[in-house]
């Protein structure tokens, strides 16, 4: 052994100790500065992460998704349908959007064999995207909905519910982008059942992973450094503890999961099951496209749109305009531009996304000049899989609920659709990592699309026509008041 070895070991030990201390600083005890003494040290219990059931969970009702093309689709009258077992002697029950129907559906669904969800026209079957570990059931769904609307999340001295930011009456996004102190625009949760990566930078895979990731998250419900705050990280530590402290919730976890107490794993499963039912389709575009396919027409034509442009549809699309033929013509023009100007290169398929990530020059996308300070998808992909094109790249968003989810882009910097279209038309901030389809040349200079102002209006109108129907009331409104503070936002107003 060389005489210098003990010194090296000492240095190593010292480094380890220092790194250990820094970690302690990153995750300070709860309310280290001001909170009462008994709250200062929270040691996360391993059982908060996951447990095996100690009781057999109560028999739960499976939820199945019936998408367009399935033989039962046509015969299902509305989104949420309950099929009683034949022995019950009841006929198919249909509960559309009425509040009373909703309440009755809740009571009945508990006693029936299967809850069938009619996936709205235009959307594919989400079943293949559901992890085998978490088959959807009515019990998990109902618990997930309760957690979603319960004010049990905390950051500093503020408490939120998921719905504080993911507001049902704003496409489950935030009306003003991000008002609670994070830098990324709150994503709308409509149709999130389909995304292959979660978040703007895709740092989570399954919907089950978005709220809590590990026991570390529980260690501190009050985060001091800005990079640790759940508004930034979206790791809502403290949620399991808050639910554990609530007798009603403890009871619900016992009946649904057979657990002695809530766990991170069970919370994730319940929330994801609920989130998968936030669906919206049957847009004007979907109906026109369906009609085109029925007629086996090679292209969308104005009459395909015009058939569905009744008074309410017109009013929703373009308030104050009553001439349905001219609106239908504009929609066809917008649809052509969407294809001819290359939007479909990335916004393609029934969900208008390629599930990929691109640098389009907005916001953080141009901050990459110092190595180690890149942003976007590049930071999140594992070492060995880094690709230059992912520097400053963000997820291609779906375009299916745009009128409800303003402002736009990962930083929420664009307040309306016309400005987004103008940006793509001639103001893209060129950079060396700019996405290939938007480039004019290898240096990253952006293409100009040469759309005049009528073209731009038509494209905006087409984007608006992709907006689907309202999320079913059973999903969008909190069912029970449990855990909700007085005056808390209570879901959507009836359509
Ligand atoms: C303080 C506001 C806030 C609260 C509270 C909040 N979120 Fe979020 N949520 C966001 C923001 C901002 C994003 C986008 C973050 C990003 O991409 O980095 C997001 C993203 C998501 C996503 C990813 C969606 C997608 O398309 O990839 C899901 C799912 C989600 N939140 C679910 C929830 C659930 C469930 C809760 C409650 C446990 C919750 N959120 C609470 C602000 C919030
Ligand atoms: C190279 C792929 C690509 C092309 C081509 C493309 N987009 Fe996008 N689009 C994206 C990405 C990626 C984002 C999110 C970028 C961000 O936030 O940094 C986005 C964002 C958007 C948004 C904002 C959505 C939201 O929820 O915030 C709209 C609207 C949009 N695009 C419409 C269009 C239109 C219209 C065209 C054609 C003129 C087009 N896009 C062409 C990839 C593309």
Give tens-digit pLDDT for 127-169: 999 999 999 999 999 999 999 999 999 887 788 999 999 999 9
Q: How far apart are CA 465 and CA 403, in angstroms?
A: 9
Residue 303 has pLDDT above 70, yes or no: yes
- The stretch 406-425 carries a mean pLDDT of 96
Per the CB < 8 A criterion, the answer to whether 173 and 167 are in contact is yes
Residue 56 pLDDT level (bands cut at 50, 70, 90): confident
Q: For the chain, give the percent of residues with pLDDT over 90.
A: 59
Kindly report whether the peptide bond that precedes residue 196 is cis, defined as omega within 30 degrees of 0: no
Alpha carbon nearest to ligand 1 atom 34, residue: 162
Residue 295 has pLDDT above 90, yes or no: yes
Q: Is 470 in the pocket of ligand 2 (CB under 6 A)?
A: no
Q: Give the ligand at the shortest distance from the Cα of 264.
A: 1
Residue 247 has pLDDT above 80, yes or no: yes
Residue 239 pLDDT: 93
Residue 400 pLDDT level (bands cut at 50, 70, 90): very high
Q: Is 408 in the pocket of ligand 2 (CB under 6 A)?
A: yes
- The stretch 298-313 carries a mean pLDDT of 94
Pocket test for ligand 2, best of 199, 285, 420 (most atoms within 8 A of CB): 420
Ligand 2 nearest atom to the CA of residue 362, by list position = 18
Residue 81 pLDDT level (bands cut at 50, 70, 90): low
Q: pLDDT tens digit string along 417-475? A: 999 999 999 999 889 999 999 999 999 899 999 999 999 999 999 999 999 999 988 89
Pocket test for ligand 2, best of 409, 431, 435, 465 (most atoms within 8 A of CB): 409
Residue 447 pLDDT: 94
CA of 330 relative to ligand 1 center, distance in Å: 35
- 149: CB partners within 8 A, 6+ apart: 161, 162, 163, 478, 483, 484, 488, 491
Per the CB < 8 A criterion, the answer to whether 60 and 139 are in contact is yes
Residue 224 pLDDT: 60
Q: For the chain, give the percent of residues with pLDDT over 70.
A: 80
Residue 60 pLDDT: 87
Q: Is 280 in the pocket of ligand 2 (CB under 6 A)?
A: no
Residue 371 pLDDT: 77
Residue 282 pLDDT level (bands cut at 50, 70, 90): very high
- 395: CB partners within 8 A, 6+ apart: 195, 197, 199, 200, 201, 202, 353, 355, 356, 357, 377
Kindly report whether the peptide bond that precedes residue 369 is cis, defined as omega within 30 degrees of 0: no
Buried b (16+ CB within 10 A) or exposed e, 246-279: eeebeebbbebbbbebbbbbbbbbbbbbbbbbbb
Q: pLDDT tens digit string along 353-395? A: 999 999 999 988 887 767 778 899 999 999 999 999 999 999 9
Q: Is 81 in the pocket of ligand 1 (CB under 6 A)?
A: no
Return the higher-pLDDT residue of 224 and 431.
431
CA dist 137 → 128, 130, 142, 269, 390 (Å): 16, 12, 9, 10, 37
Alpha carbon nearest to ligand 2 atom 12, residue: 396
- The stretch 93-114 carries a mean pLDDT of 59
Residue 290 has pLDDT above 80, yes or no: yes
Residue 213 pLDDT level (bands cut at 50, 70, 90): confident
- Residue 439 CB burial class (10 angstroms; 0-12, 13-18, ≥19): middle
Ligand 2 nearest atom to the CA of residue 436, by list position = 1
Ligand 2 nearest atom to the CA of residue 409, by list position = 17
Q: Give the ligand at the shortest distance from the Cα of 357.
A: 2
Q: How far apart are CA 211 and CA 272, in angstroms?
A: 10
Q: Is 409 in the pocket of ligand 1 (CB under 6 A)?
A: no
Q: How far apart are CA 64 and CA 77, in angstroms?
A: 15
Q: Is 271 in the pocket of ligand 1 (CB under 6 A)?
A: yes
Per the CB < 8 A criterion, the answer to whether 327 and 317 are in contact is yes
Residue 99 pLDDT: 52
The token pair that represents 22 in the structure block: 């820094």
> Computed over its alpha carbons, how large is the radius of gyration of the chain?
25
CA of 180 relative to ligand 1 center, distance in Å: 12
Ligand 2 nearest atom to the CA of residue 405, by list position = 26
CA of 471 relative to ligand 1 center, distance in Å: 18
Per the CB < 8 A criterion, the answer to whether 27 and 220 are in contact is yes
- The stretch 326-351 carries a mean pLDDT of 97
């Amino acid at each position: 052994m060389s005489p210098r070895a003990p010194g090296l070991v000492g240095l190593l030990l010292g480094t380890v100790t220092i790194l250990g201390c820094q970690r302690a600083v990153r995750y300070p005890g709860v309310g280290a500065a001001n909170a009462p003494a008994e709250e200062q040290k929270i040691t996360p219990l391993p059982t908060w992460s996951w447990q095996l059931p100690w009781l057999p969970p109560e028999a739960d009702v499976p939820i199945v998704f019936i998408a367009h093309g399935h033989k039962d689709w046509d015969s299902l009258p509305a989104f949420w349908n309950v099929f009683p077992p034949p022995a019950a002697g009841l006929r198919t029950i249909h509960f559309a959007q009425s509040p009373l129907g909703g309440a009755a559906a809740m009571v009945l669904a508990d006693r029936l064999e299967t809850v069938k969800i009619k996936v709205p026209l235009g959307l594919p079957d989400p079943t293949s995207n559901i992890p085998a570990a978490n088959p959807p059931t009515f019990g998990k769904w109902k618990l997930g909905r309760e957690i979603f609307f319960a004010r049990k999340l905390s950051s500093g001295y503020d408490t939120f519910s998921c719905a504080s930011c993911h507001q049902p009456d704003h496409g489950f996004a935030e009306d003003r982008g991000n008002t609670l102190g994070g830098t990324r625009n709150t994503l709308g949760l409509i149709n999130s059942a389909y995304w292959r990566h979660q978040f703007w930078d895709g740092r989570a895979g399954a919907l089950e992973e978005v709220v809590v990731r590990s026991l570390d998250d529980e260690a501190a419900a009050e985060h001091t450094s800005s990079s640790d705050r759940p508004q930034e990280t979206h790791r809502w530590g403290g949620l399991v503890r808050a639910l554990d402290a609530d007798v009603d919730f403890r009871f619900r976890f016992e009946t649904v999961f057979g657990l002695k107490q809530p766990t991170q794993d069970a919370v994730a499963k319940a929330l994801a099951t609920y989130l998968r039912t936030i669906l919206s389709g049957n847009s004007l575009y979907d109906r026109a496209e369906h009609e085109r396919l029925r007629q086996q027409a090679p292209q969308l034509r104005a009459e395909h749109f015009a058939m569905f442009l009744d008074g309410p549809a017109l009013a929703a699309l373009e308030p104050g305009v009553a001439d349905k033929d001219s609106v239908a013509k504009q929609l066809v023009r917008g649809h052509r531009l969407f294809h001819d100007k290359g939007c479909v290169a990335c916004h393609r398929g029934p969900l208008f996304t390629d599930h990929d990530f691109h640098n389009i020059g907005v916001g953080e996308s141009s901050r990459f000049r110092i190595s180690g300070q890149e942003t976007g998808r590049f930071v999140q992909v594992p070492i060995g899989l880094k690709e230059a094109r992912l520097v400053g790249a963000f997820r291609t968003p779906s375009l299916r609920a745009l009128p409800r989810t303003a402002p736009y882009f990962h930083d929420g910097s664009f307040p309306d659709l016309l400005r987004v279209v103008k940006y793509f038309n001639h103001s893209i901030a060129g950079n060396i990592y700019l996405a290939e389809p938007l480039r004019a040349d290898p240096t990253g200079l952006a293409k100009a699309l040469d759309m005049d102002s009528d073209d731009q209006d038509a494209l905006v109108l087409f984007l608006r026509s992709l907006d689907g129907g309202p999320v079913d009331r059973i999903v969008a409104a909190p069912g029970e008041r449990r855990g909700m503070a007085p005056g808390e936002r209570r879901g959507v107003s009836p359509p």
